[in-house]
Amino acid sequence: MHHLRIILAILLSLISPIHLTVKFNKNLKSFSHSVKKAVLYGHNIENVMFRYEKGPGVITEQFISGNNGCADPTLHINIYIDGEKTPSLDYNMFFAHAVNMTNDVEDKFSPWATSRFGHTAHRGGGYFNTYRIPFGKNIKITFQRPGPECAIWYIVRGVENLPIVVGDFELPPSARLKVYKTEDFLAPEEYVNILKIQKKSGIVFQMTISANSKDLQFLESCYRLLIDSDNWENMQLLSSGTEDLYLSALYFNAGVNHFENAGVTFINRLHGSVVAYKFFERDPVIFHENITLVWRCGENVDYGCYYKPPQKDCWLDGNRKYCFPKQAPQEQIEKEKKGFDLSETFFKTYVWVYECIAIAKVQVNEKMKTFGTSTKEAYIRGNWVENVMFEYNKGPGVITEQSYIAGLHCTDENMFVNVYIDGETEPSLDFNMFFAHGINTTAAVEDKFAPWATSLFGHAAHNGGAFFNTYRIPFGRSIKITVRIPGPASCIMWYIVKGVENYPVVIGDLILPANTRLKLYKTDGLLNPHDYVTIAKVNNKSGIVFQVAFAGRSKDLEYLEACYRVLLDSDDWSNVQLLSSGTEDFYLSSYYFNAGVNHFENAGVTYIDHSGIAVAYKFFEKDPIIFQNNMTFLWRCGEDRANGCYYKPPKSDCWYVGGRRFCYPEMAPSSDRDVKLSVTLFKTYVWVYEW
């Protein structure tokens, strides 16, 4: 029996890979920079937005916002790796986010987001991506545009010595991200090489297409692929039509969508226009020696897709066009053309590829064991009595999901949850259930926005129903979870909890040490204009930030001018890093959340009232903030617009440490204070994994 279990475990490890993760180590170090309302010079001048000289590292997130047409279809980005004279990444900002229309048209579809990219505000605001851009020694990022100068907001973050992880694969340190671009007019049934790589290995990351013709018949075209071979007899068909590759059908008849694996960002049937994208993280296209990826301008509906180029066809390879010397039988040509009328098509595509690859996986082992329980119609006593919902003493393990399924007047804004780890007498986690899910309104107001969900939390029903999260809560020996409500009346509740014994603490791409624990830092109070507040402070420990939830209320939204600051592994404020150029930028939006409520994978705004109330959340799985010894995380009640964000607290400012407020003795000139801020009610949760 023991041997059978071992064999079963081996088989499971082969067929059931867990998402690849990387062990946390002391060499990982977060870095970041933001630019607030910077002047971007026009006339195609290269504006240096970011430069970093402490590689190796990986860029993990970029955020771009601009007014007066600054972040528009003409904005171009260049990325120079390791002292390059010519940028290895040179792309249009809009098309890198699968957008190929004007701001006015794109605004009709925003806000939208996936975990990899999104557009979360209007008027040219809130474009972000979490593309991993590795570099060896250094990196330089520049912006340029043809028009006049304008104002831009920009955030960039990364991690030194972070392994390059794409989907289930850890790539070698030498791996680099490349973008292959094609833009041309194609005649009917012409082929075009949209990707051709020789004498390298790699993995395809993302592909975006934009095409325009008199109608959409070009979508009949199939994608063809040749991997590690020069023999077209080995060609593979990637799709049975263009829209099929982008996980849609019937010429994208469901309209615009923005899903995690694929989406269509624009479709106009009348004028034959379409823009679509596909990510390959969960559906890898891997090559070891060479790859050729081909698109064709239409197919014959009757005959279907050829496995190899037929003799009658012409071919585009770069700018060179050539045709096969022989013609197919005339009767075959006539058959193919019957009832099918293709036109010239304007075609544009980006194919993003990580070149050079190695494979690794975290595998299932025989010690892993799932556990869980559910409670149906549990009686919950009021008056802040602790009601035990779950106890488990067969650690080590990790809680993987909790669902507060239903409970009218029970699972609402007044419920609190306590989590006791390894026999604690005081809970290490003590939180409001609503705010732990990024919510800070009443149940009645929140119901107006449900259902919504990301992979990490959500609210999927009305009347107090279906709040869930998949926060990983590790424990050593035991865990106890209780809930409290104010009462005095009792209520009825449904609850589900699940976990896995001997499961590694996996956050994003990282496997954390076995002694890792999840901690929560809470702040709640009134702030005066320009006050700083420390929202998380960790000393003599290592860790990563997991999530930040924010709620603010004032007479207006001017407090959102505030920048987030972080000090990592240092007590010297000259080393402070700017995490944002404003509060809403931190949550991957713009212009005081002008696109309204959204619930996206990396960040979202769960409530906005432009008279002065905002509630938002941000997860850091794709964009890790890592510290090795200590961390101080700060927010400020507003900024001065003229001066932007200070890199360190100026002497005029007041400061909060815990509940204590103190001020520097000198005041700045009155001219530095041109923003009329008010007292602001501020609340935040910062979730941190520590060891």
Q: Which residues contact 341 (CB under 8 A, 6 or more apart)?
A: 217
> CB of 164 within 8 A of CB of 173?
yes
For the cut 80, the answer to whether the pLDDT of residue 182 exceeds it is yes
pLDDT classification of 247: cutoffs 50, 70, 90 = confident
Same domain, 524 and 481: no
Tally of structural domains, the chain: 3
Same domain, 537 and 640: yes
Domain contains 153? no
Between 4 and 26, the more confident residue is: 26
Judgement on whether residues 384 and 437 belong to the same structural domain of the protein: yes
Are residues 689 and 518 in contact, defined by beta-carbon separation less than 8 angstroms? yes
Give the three-class secondary structure for 654.
strand
- CA 300 to chain centroid, in Å, comes to 39
Report the run of H or E that residue 10 belongs to, with start and end. helix 2-15
C-alpha–C-alpha distance, residues 238 and 222, integer Å: 7
d(CA 592, CA 585): 9
pLDDT score at 37: 87
Strand intervals (E) in 411-463:
416-421, 429-432, 452-453, 457-459
β-pairing verdict for 191-198 and 273-279? unpaired
State whether 341 and 378 are in the same domain.
Answer: no
Do residue 485 and residue 618 come from a single domain? no
β-sheet bridge partners, residue 686: 521, 548
397 and 281 assigned to the same domain: no
Higher-pLDDT residue of 371 and 361 is: 371
323 dihedral zone (left: phi>0; alpha: psi -120 to 50; beta): beta
Looking at 297, 323, 355, the residue that finishes a domain is 355
Higher pLDDT, 285 or 614: 614
The verdict on 329 and 207 lying in the same domain is: yes
Q: What is the pLDDT of residues 503-535, one digit of tens each?
A: 888 898 888 999 999 999 999 999 999 888 999
- The boundaries of the domain holding residue 562 are 519-690
Q: Does position 15 have pLDDT exceeding 50, yes or no? A: no
Chain centroid to CA 615: 19
349 with 413, same domain: the answer is no
CATH for 410: 2.60.120.1390
CATH number of the domain at 658, please.
2.60.120
| 599 and 646 part of one domain | yes
Same domain, yes or no: 575 and 452: no
Burial class (CB in 10 A: 0-12, 13-18, 19+), 111: buried
Is 376 found in the same domain as 339?
A: no
In a domain, 145, yes or no: no
Higher pLDDT, 674 or 400: 400
Are residues 343 and 486 located together in one domain of the fold? no
Which strand (E) or helix (H) includes residue 334?
Answer: helix 330-337
Question: Cα(504)–Cα(514) distance, rounded to whole angstroms?
Answer: 7
Residue 632 belongs to a domain: yes
**Residues 294-307 pLDDT 10s:** 998 887 654 456 54
Confirm if 500 and 401 have CB atoms less than 8 A apart: no
Residue 146's alpha-carbon distances to 75, 312, 377, in angstroms, are 8, 43, 64
| Statement: residue 683 has pLDDT above 80 | yes
